[in-house]
Structure 1
Amino acid sequence: MTHATATLPPDTALRTLDELPGPPGWPLVGNAFQVHLPELHLELERWIAQHGTVFRAQFGRDKLLVISDHALVTQVLKDRPDGFRRPSRLAEVIEEIGIQRGVFTAEGEAWAAQRRMVMASFSPGHVRAYFPSLVRVTETLKRRWQKLQAQNAPMDLQAELMRYTVDVISGLAFGQDTNTLERDDDIIQHHLDKIFPALWRRMNAILPYWRWVRLPVDRQLDASVKVVQQAIDGFIAQARERLQDPARRAAPQNLLEGMLVAADEPGSGVGDAEVAGNVFTLLLAGEDTTATSISWLLYLLVRRPEALARAVQEVDRVLGPADGGASWTPERFAELDYLEACAHEAMRLKPVGPFNVVEAQKDTVVGDVKVPRGTMVFMVLRQDNLDDRFFPEARSFQPERWLGDDAPGTVGNAKRVSMPFGAGPRVCPGRYLALLEIKMALAMLLQNFRLEGVATPDGREAREIMSFTMIPEGLRLQLSPR
């Protein structure tokens, strides 16, 4: 038996899952029908209040261990990929839908090989080289918002930002200008938006009904996967054509080209199928997560006017007057400390992944609990983020807490508690790009517009909806010219 935690005192008595507290379940299905799937994260947080930071639950036949202590979560995340892996069910669902495995679901040696390629492509130096293209996409977003604002057209914040992030990731990773921001036809984003919710539903289904009965939603999913796969095949074909140039092959200019060059190496163990899987993964992850983080940030920022005013002052001081991005440089964006603090604070309060799930690869121990191989471990990442022991006035939006080496009054550095990008060997490879995208979108907005409102149509607080990521429901953006 291996241990996923620090060494326990020799006289510590280990507990089994059955000995843990937890919500009482129903026969056969356990707690599966006691949760509303779009609010699963909230149910987990309510159970923590009732049963503590370590408890058990059961969804169908699966017995679950639920943990929320950030130190314990960190130890589990660091015990990957040897001790824990992503749920095998996720890989099965992804392949069943028709998506090849990318680095997100790959395991073992396949993961290690793909991880090296992906990490290199998302390095700060690579993103820096892409900076001019990122500026162009952000300027396109500005023009779109100016047009919509002049027409007094309603602006669906989440949809607008997803267009932006699809264009960013398509340019950086694949060398393609999808330009979804200036198109209203059958854009790739419409199809990507159907895939993430479908993964979420199938991952949490009690029975895989779609294997026997195809509902309209399943047929729509099949069609969307086909459209996106055809687009990816086109990306790969165009990249291979560009790589006929020996100079280009010697110095690939984007992630896709780099992966294809690596796949062509003798004994690489990587082929076009794995390349396609990573393209698909990056389109999905690059669209949804960053767009959602920006949505939540704007929602929180508009509710604290003094923070919004300070962000505007920093943008004016560092970047100067709006000039179409002509004076934007990576060095200047590195000076936007308060904007970055705003991003970290928004991700602390509204992480796109409020919980993470892993599967034990072997019999192990988490804390003082025996965890059999195959057990799902739900790690609730937001619980300690909202605890006053670690963040004074934890439920308030205070970007200032991220400007020091240690958040005042916390136990250790704030980044050890709040982990929106995960931790350990499988930390998100795109975190540097995500922060730059967030800062760039926010800087463009604050330079050119007044942020009048970010609200739901009925004026109520935005609901948190789990659909693989935690998205805000129904936010509308209201701007005026600056």
Structure 2
Amino acid sequence: MLDVAQLLLYCGVPLLFAVWYLQRQRQGASQTGTGKLPKLLELGYSNWTGHIGYVVGQNNAGPGEHIFNLHELMQKAPEPVVALSLFGPRWLMTPIYAVMDPVLINVVTSSSKTTRFASFEYSSQSVMGKKSMSALRGDELKRHRKLLASSILSRKALGRLVELMGNVTDAFLQNLPQPKAGESSFALDLADGDPIGLMLLDVFSLFGFGTQSTTTPEGLAQREKVKIAMNFIFDMFADRMSAAGLAKYLSYLNFSKSRQLANHHKFIRQEIIIPAIRRRQSDINEGVEVPNDALTVMLEAGDDDSPAFTEEEICDEAILIMVASYETTANTILWLFYHLAMHPECQQRCYEEVCQVMSSHPPGTQPSITDIDQMTYLNATLQESNRLTPIAHGITRETVEDLVLGDYVIPKGNTVMCYFQGSAVSEEVFTDAKKFVPQRWLDHPNGGAKKPGAHSLPFGNGPFRCFGKAMAVQAIRTLFSSWIQRYRFEMITEDIKPRFRIAYYPSQLTIRMFPRQQEDQ
């Protein structure tokens, strides 16, 4: 009977050789373009574990730290395009080609010779659903984007989103505690319990699919289950996205987590989405007026009198929208809270701008989308926050043809990582690059960048840029316009460290809230 060592010898070695051979074949794809292959960057590298192993070996916080170390490596890189063995030894892993130059980043992200990172699509298919936009390509992806754009990206739809976001924010602020007797402020922890994420989850669920949590014990319990499901789904997506080499395949063999994922999907589908579909179908059949939201558009009849989207497609798109709104938009808001709390003069200017725009309205009026569009300085603060602390520091693409980048060529079938955060905080690109200066976006459309190209890309670039950018921007601006009207806030947390889970988020964030009504008295 074979023992464990023999099994590893007989099965593991051939498997490693097969992976090595396939990686070499992939890396050695024919080069039809003119140019040279980038050199392997040696700095901070372990022959056995790659850059991640080096990071962990140096007692840094863990794999998430590699982005920050990567910035240091790229600054010292002798060439504008380099090869990095981030996730494993060079003899086993195909290197990732890294680019920090804004002109070359624009080429990579805009080129028809690149597509989404393969691991992103594999992870999306297995975690979000095979019929979500993040997992689709080609004509099917275009069909989904076209149909959904008409329902959630039109001016009218975004106006409805602003109204919903304003109402939910107003209700949240009304339920906040008041300062104790003799005090002018109270503390609010924006990380504990994730109040911002839950607000967004409510807004986008109602905006896209007509689902809304209630304040009954049953409704609150269901809302908590949705939150747990969203967190688990995003954790699984992060795990499978970050896995490389053999780990990429082994991550799918964790049957315990796979069962939990299936249970969370079952809950979201059967308890949230499918009941919403049934209610909407009933309203449509009975002639009840329904909103022209994503759910209505997906249920509209196509050429063959069947719904435009299948039930599976509706459920998968709903999960994608809920996860994206809960995680990425919430973290973007937390970083903006951080910057405005650290820069009271910018916060005050936002307050004065909001008051000026809303001065023609009766007291207590929620801003409309027209009002929000006039708050140019508030929008500039969001742009500056995204430049300094984007939730993602880079964009990864896969080459579908040989791609020429200046004097270099990236062979077909390889990965290119565009590290735009490096140029976003570089003095060669921006004046006072490390400082929070929203005014730069009012003075120049591109923030006063000294170099052409793609510099600050919080929502991506090119054909695979974030589909929900307009929704996220409007939701964030609406939340802050309502918040700043009623409260001034200061930072309590002294040490804010970013943590990594695909997206970057503050480890903790507690602010001190000062009701403006009391300060004005």
Q: 1:273 to 1:409 in 2, by over 3 A?
A: closer
Q: Which moved more, 1:186-195 or 1:138-147?
A: 138-147
Q: Deviations over 1:272-293 (max 9, x none)?
A: 2222221111111122121111
Residue 24 of structure 1: CA displacement? 6.5
Structure 1 equivalent of residue 268 of structure 2: 228
Q: 1:23 to 1:277 in 2, by over 3 A?
A: farther
- Answering whether residue 510 of structure 2 is matched by residue 476 of structure 1, we say yes
Structure 2 equivalent of residue 189 of structure 1: 227
The answer to whether the 8 A contact 1:236-1:256 is kept is yes
1:296-315 residue pairs with structure 2 within 5 A? Answer: 296-315=335-354
Letter in 1 for 2:83: R
Structure 1 equivalent of residue 316 of structure 2: 277
Structure 1: where are the runs of 5+ without partners? 1-11
Q: 1:125 aligns with which of 146, 156, 177?
A: 156
1:139-178 residue pairs with structure 2 within 5 A? Answer: 139-146=170-177, 154-157=188-191, 159-178=194-213
Distance 2:180 2:189 in 1: 8
1:233-244 residue pairs with structure 2 within 5 A? Answer: 233-244=274-285
Greater Rg by CA? 2
Distance 1:91 1:149 in 2: 51
Structure 2 equivalent of residue 31 of structure 1: 51
Q: 1:336 to 1:189 in 2, by over 3 A?
A: same
The answer to whether the 8 A contact 1:39-1:464 is kept is no
Letter in 1 for 2:382: A
Q: 1:213 to 1:442 in 2, by over 3 A?
A: closer
Letter in 1 for 2:144: Q
Letter in 1 for 2:203: V
Residue 220 of structure 1: CA displacement? 4.4
Residue 300 of structure 1: CA displacement? 0.8
Q: Deviations over 1:304-354 (max 9, x none)?
A: 121111112112222249977525222222111111111111011111121
Distance 1:388 1:307 in 2: 22
The answer to whether the 8 A contact 2:41-2:83 is kept is yes
Structure 1 equivalent of residue 422 of structure 2: 383
Q: Secondary structure at the match of 1:243?
A: helix
Letter in 2 for 1:56: A
Structure 1 equivalent of residue 497 of structure 2: 463
Distance 2:179 2:189 in 1: 7
Structure 2 equivalent of residue 89 of structure 1: 119
Residue 358 of structure 1: CA displacement? 1.5
Residue 466 of structure 1: CA displacement? 1.7
The answer to whether the 8 A contact 1:38-1:465 is kept is yes
Residue 301 of structure 1: CA displacement? 1.1
Q: 1:427 aligns with which of 465, 470, 474?
A: 465
Distance 2:460 2:486 in 1: 34
The answer to whether the 8 A contact 2:333-2:476 is kept is yes
Letter in 2 for 1:97: V
Equivalent pairs counted in the alignment come to 460
Structure 2 equivalent of residue 418 of structure 1: 456
Distance 2:133 2:304 in 1: 19
1:8-407 residue pairs with structure 2 within 5 A? Answer: 14-17=35-38, 19-23=39-43, 25-27=45-47, 29-35=49-55, 36-51=62-77, 52-58=79-85, 59-60=87-88, 61-79=93-111, 82-97=112-127, 99-120=129-150, 121-146=152-177, 154-157=188-191, 159-178=194-213, 184-187=220-223, 188-206=226-244, 207=247, 208-214=249-255, 220-230=260-270, 231-245=272-286, 253-261=292-300, 265=304, 270-320=309-359, 325-406=364-445
Letter in 1 for 2:157: H
Letter in 1 for 2:503: T
Distance 1:360 1:181 in 2: 51
The answer to whether the 8 A contact 2:71-2:422 is kept is yes
Letter in 2 for 1:64: I
Q: Secondary structure at the match of 1:125?
A: helix
Q: Secondary structure at the match of 1:428?
A: coil
Distance 2:363 2:171 in 1: 10
Residue 372 of structure 1: CA displacement? 2.2
Q: Secondary structure at the match of 1:383?
A: helix
Q: 1:93 to 1:46 in 2, by over 3 A?
A: same
The answer to whether the 8 A contact 1:101-1:278 is kept is yes
Residue 28 of structure 1: CA displacement? 6.2
Q: Secondary structure at the match of 2:479?
A: helix
Letter in 2 for 1:54: V
Letter in 1 for 2:425: L
Q: 1:47 to 1:160 in 2, by over 3 A?
A: same
Letter in 2 for 1:410: A
Q: Deviations over 1:53-96 (max 9, x none)?
A: 421112342321111112211222212xx422222222223333
Q: Deviations over 1:399-453 (max 9, x none)?
A: 111112446753368x952221122222222222222211111122211112132
Q: Secondary structure at the match of 1:192?
A: helix
Q: Secondary structure at the match of 1:417?
A: coil
Q: Deviations over 1:196-234 (max 9, x none)?
A: 12211122224243444445x665444433322332233
Structure 2: where are the runs of 5+ without partners? 1-32, 56-61, 517-521
Structure 1 equivalent of residue 8 of structure 2: none
Residue 184 of structure 1: CA displacement? 4.6
Q: Secondary structure at the match of 1:104?
A: helix
Distance 2:134 2:316 in 1: 9
The answer to whether the 8 A contact 1:118-1:429 is kept is no
Q: Secondary structure at the match of 1:418?
A: coil
Q: 1:47 to 1:267 in 2, by over 3 A?
A: farther
Q: 1:92 to 1:329 in 2, by over 3 A?
A: closer
Distance 2:313 2:180 in 1: 42
The share of aligned pairs that are identical, in percent, is 22
The answer to whether the 8 A contact 1:56-1:66 is kept is yes
The answer to whether the 8 A contact 2:125-2:135 is kept is no
TM-score by length of 2: 0.79
Distance 1:63 1:268 in 2: 45
Q: 1:359 to 1:319 in 2, by over 3 A?
A: same
